[in-house]
Structure 1
Amino acid sequence: MMLPRIVFRTELTVCPECGSPLKVYKTKKRTVKSASDRFIAVHKLMKCSLHRERIFRSDLLDSIIAPGCSYANNVMLESSMKRFIDGRSSSEIASGINNGISESHVRLLSNTALNIFTQIHEESYQKLKSAMKSYVLHLDGTTDSEFEMIIVVRDSISNFTLYAGKCHSESLDNVRNMLLKVKERFGIPEGAVSDMRSGILGALEEVFPGIPVRICLFHFLRDLGRDLMQGMHTDLGIAMNRIGIKSPLKSILRSIPDYSQKTLYEIDQGFCSDRERMEIMAIRGMLEPLLDINGSSGYGFPFSLKHLNFFTACAGTGKKLSDLSAKIRGEESMALLDRVTKEIKRITCNGVIARMAGMLSGVNMLFQKIRSAFRVPERGNLSDDIMDDDSIHDQCNLVTGEMEVYLKANIPRHIFKAAKHIISRYHERETMLFAQNPAGTIPRTNNMMECFFRKVTRSVRKRCGNIVTGNILSQSGASLALFQNMSNPEYIRIVFGDQDIPAVFARYRKPFRKPGMTRSKMLELVKTGTEMILAGMLYDTPYTENNMDMAYASKKMNVS
């Protein structure tokens, strides 16, 4: 199939210096491979008869494709979006574009776009500042990198990534230097949200004195729960693992026949011709959920206590099996029930484990009270959109007030210590837990940053695998964090306006090969020059006897 031909020439018809008509100097043809199609570009290079040193090119063609390249600028943009936003691998992108581009060239083009976008973002601070007017600063760092930490600053109102940089730690000096750059470029925020690390809080107070700084509710509760329950929860898990009932229970489950649809169809009709089969299925139906217990609500420890949840599930399953044993008639089903019950009782009837679980359950009850007071749900999002701080504050004061009453009562020592710690930590951080600006735009948590880092890390892991994820984040994590702005329509509108985005990227694009000699050529000539020095043949003029003989021989050969 013949490719369409499109003629390109400069929009100028006369020389801007003398007004003389421009004439065609040379015609160049090239095949342009874009992200959607291919065509032959016929480029009419123009010259002025008086100013012959200047060549007039087509600006339109240069905005479509860079000189000396085969692939259009929109290939560079599309490959970078798919690679760094969607997490596609270079091979997937190359096969998807389907214009003959190789994996290595996709990698080269997308890396070029990544570097170009960093420059575009750095030159767009004034545009962003004017459009944002005000912002709420979110600050956090990721430690997924094995070498350097990536610290990112975002605005929770616009969801723009404002700044990203690499450093060795979230120390006061490192964070302060980054915040000073943010202050210089975007001004003073209306508030800030961060975790409770002293380096971040100290830098915020030093660089932005007087602004409301809210500590992340999730981090506060997570640290509080760890202080209260981490040791107890770990000890409970170790004690249960030493006894080890999961493997025997899984072995029993594998030996139980699968559910019989024939029997279940009869149950659906209100009768059962094989009672023992139904009894065995009933035992299987109780055992399966027990082995599926993972205790996770999505937030992790201490919001989910998998060891305590497993103990509680064992106790509940043991009670159900005890009730079922009074009704079972079949010998095989009774033997199966006894085997399962015997394994479960190895934990539930162990006095040490039962006591540890009871103590942990009591402390967890206090933790869940303060968690409920903050209205953090059992599952789902962290309720960042809840802005009713006054009623939440009142409820938290009510709960801590009840705990202060507990301290005066005759309660177990572990409950006393837990309640005292909750009260102390709450009052220590109370002001920062409810810090807010007049507009009420400071979120309760730093969950936006957690989700952002998970997205970036997942994108890298998806296309590169787990092993190299840390290394890649160390090398290009800051650029990747900034590039996520390309998925924000409002950011694109502010920075690029009605400009053609691939054409904007093209203006920043540099040739892959630097002008001048290659390194191998330079080394070759250095070697030649050295040999000339050693041979005493390094002259200070080209008019040597040897060069003149070579010129004469060349001229004689051309004449003949």
Structure 2
Amino acid sequence: MTTATRVCPGCDRPLWAAYKGRRVVATLEGLTRFAVQVRRCRDADCPRHNVSLRAEAEGAIALPQQEFGLDVIALVGRLRHVEHRGVAEIHAELTRRGVGICVRSVSCLLDRYDELLALSLSDPARLRRVVAEAGRVILAIDGLQPDVGHEVLWVIRDVLSGEILLARSLLSSCRADLAKLLGEVRSALQPEAEGAAGVPIVGVISDGQHSIRDAVAEALPGVPHQLCQFHYLREAARPIYEADRHAKVTLKKKVRGIRPIERAVEGRDDDEATAIRGYCAAVRTSLTDDGRPPLAASGLVLRDRLAKVAEGLDEVGAKKGLPKELTRLRAILAGGLEATDSAWPEVRAAFGRVHRAAAILRNKAGLDAAGVRRRFVGLMGEIGRHRDAAGGLDDAVGHFLKVTRSYWPGLFACYDTAGLPRTNNDLEQLFGSYRHHERRCSGRKVASPGMVVRGSVRLVSATATRLRPIERADLVPSDLAAWRALRGGLERRQEVRKMGHRFRRDPAAYLLSLKEIMIKPALPS
């Protein structure tokens, strides 16, 4: 194969045939042997003097200095991200298909797949074409940090198209760094070059982190910024939820002794034994049913369920009388309910106001931002006026009002901007989906550090691979220099993690090696 052009792109002079390179590449069809005619410009004044120009068709088969074809790399990516196979399983499948490869090379090919696909998907021209279908862009931004003290994987995604516009790992989450990321996205979507069609950014959704707020105000002035209402309610209602949880723990401690009652009727098949087992099952199910903040008052739910069981036992006892097993169960329930009876009215009233706040923000009436704001002002005024009646939850109510004041400027932008979501849960679910698939592939219980180290390419490639089949043509790099720069940055970041592992394994040897580097005598000049 040879180059498609015989003219130097630098000086328009004829290119000379310099030499022929021969390659052997392992593909899914078997070993492929081909010769590549390399041409160079011999004009000493040309800026491309002695720069090798290789055949374009070569790049569609394999990467430079790589022994496996792009079709093998595409198969590795599909097996990993779609079929959730581990490295050993991928190696076994490639061996079955006749591709001679070692296990270590499978991991390398998976890295190449992530890099090439992420590079292809992050092309600014492609991103503008994708988001241009809606005619506007709504940004969602959030960070992922599996390891405290290490890098944070920041992701900026278009809400309308679901496209990941940028993913990058940062050592810090300060305003300047986040503003720079947002500025890159704005420049890609709204190029300053003449004749380039730009796509306007009409809204931003994020959580309430102050560095994100400041970064959006700096990089996207005048763009409506919605703060996630789920994060707001979870943070504002946290002390109320903790009070409910504390009362629930106290109630569960009092409701003990269910197992002896169940053992007492083991082996019995009569109706009375069946009813006793049914009541015990109801109590046990109630004790193990936990809720999640901010709206799930699991303690109140437990109290109400146990109260209903107790009322049912009282009704049976009034009509027929209770056997000794159910009499014991009724005494257990009575002890728990009486011990926590004073805690529930305050918790119930506080959660009632939290649910009212959530209902106002849900805005089923379809009011505009001003209308929702007026209703919310009324609720906050009512909470402030009745704060003295909160009793032991006075501080929790104060915390709710404080968090509301902090989130207030960004709570209502979604009602005046079409398509701007109320919460950032879609991006959170994307992170959760990625963690789920990573666990299925690796078998790890928690997310791996590589999730952040290589997350800037792996998250993008994994998401895209599950949406549509990726072929060999999708992995052909349009700019080899950009691919090498991307790969070099990822490897440098991974090297930092390796240094940390070496230090933890043998601190003395690690520090000694650094000391030798620093005090190594320089050679005489």
TM-score between the two structures when normalised by the length of structure 1? 0.67
Contact 1:86/1:459, CA 8 A, preserved across alignment: no
Report the CA distance shift for 1:185/1:19 in structure 2 as closer, same or farther (over 3 A): closer
How big is each residue's C-alpha offset from its partner over 1:26-79, in whole Å with a ceiling of 9 and x where there is no partner? 998x68441xxx34546467799xx9x999998657633457766432221221
Q: Is the 8 A contact 2:283 2:309 kept in 1?
A: yes
Per-residue deviation, 1:314: 1.6
Deviation for aligned residue 1:318: 1.3
1:179 aligns with 2:182: yes
2:311 to 308, 319, 330: 319
Structure 2: gaps of 5 or more residues: 43-49, 191-199, 489-525
Residues 339-354 of structure 1: pairs in structure 2 closer than 5 A: 339-350=328-339, 353-354=340-341
1:245 corresponds in structure 2 to 255
Matched, 1:440 2:432: no
Residues 436-455 of structure 1 show CA distances to partners (whole Å, capped at 9, x for unaligned) of 48761211110111101111
The residue that corresponds to 1:535 in the other structure is none
- Shift in alpha-carbon separation, 1:223–1:317, aligned structure 2, 3 A: same
**Aligned twin of 1:210:** 222
Which of 142, 150, 174 is the equivalent residue of 1:140? 142
Q: Partners of 1:440 and 1:55 in 2: how far apart?
A: 53
Counterpart of 1:214, as a letter, is Q
Aligned to 1:337: 326
Q: Identify the residue that residue 128 of structure 1 maps to in structure 2.
A: 127
Cα distance, 1:366 vs. partner?
1.6
* Counterparts of 1:156 and 1:186, CA distance in 2: 14
Whether 1:151 aligns to 2:161 is no
Say whether the 8 Å CA contact 2:2–2:38 is kept in structure 1.
Answer: no
How far off is 1:238 after superposition? 4.1
| Residue 233 (structure 1) aligns with | 244
Alignment-derived partner of residue 544 in structure 1: none
Q: Deviations over 1:186-235 (max 9, x none)?
A: 236211011111111111111111111111111122122114x0342243
Q: 295, 304, 308: which one pairs with 2:296?
A: 304
CA deviation after TM superposition for structure 1 residue 114, in Å:
1.7
Per-residue CA distance 1:288-308 (angstroms, 9 max, x = gap): 2332235456xx222222233
| Alignment of 1:89 onto 2:98 | no
In the alignment, what sits opposite 2:278? 285
| Higher Rg of the two aligned structures | 1
Equivalents in 2 of 1:488, 1:102: separation in Å?
26
- What is the alpha-carbon distance in structure 2 between the residues aligned to residue 198 and residue 60 of structure 1? 50
C-alpha separation in 2, matches of 1:407 and 1:68? 70
**Cross-structure match for 2:105:** 105
Structure 2 SS opposite 1:82: helix
The total of aligned residue pairs comes to: 452
Q: Equivalent residue of 2:204, what SS? A: strand
Q: Distance in 2 between matches of 1:163 and 1:371?
A: 32
Q: Which residue of 2 aligns with 1:269?
A: none
Q: Note if 1:361 corresponds to 2:348.
A: yes
Q: 2:27–2:71: 8 Å Cα contact kept in structure 1?
A: no
**Secondary structure, aligned partner of 1:165:** strand
Unaligned runs of 5+ in 1: 1-8, 261-276, 377-385, 515-560
Q: 1:153 to 1:389 in 2, by over 3 A?
A: farther
- 1:148 maps to amino acid: E
**Cα offset, 1:162, TM superposition:** 1.1
* C-alpha contact (below 8 Å) 1:150/1:166 kept by paired residues: yes
Q: Distance in 2 between matches of 1:438 and 1:291?
A: 47
**Contact 1:135/1:191 (<8 A) preserved:** yes
Conserved 8 A contact 2:414-2:422: no
How far, CA to CA, are the matches of 1:400 and 1:47 in structure 2?
73
Percent identical across equivalent pairs?
Answer: 17
- CA distance in structure 1 between the partners assigned to 2:386 and 2:62 by the alignment: 79
Are the structure 2 counterparts of residues 395 and 316 from structure 1 closer, same or farther at C-alpha, using a change threshold of 3 Å? farther
1:354/1:454 CA distance change after superposition, 3 Å: same
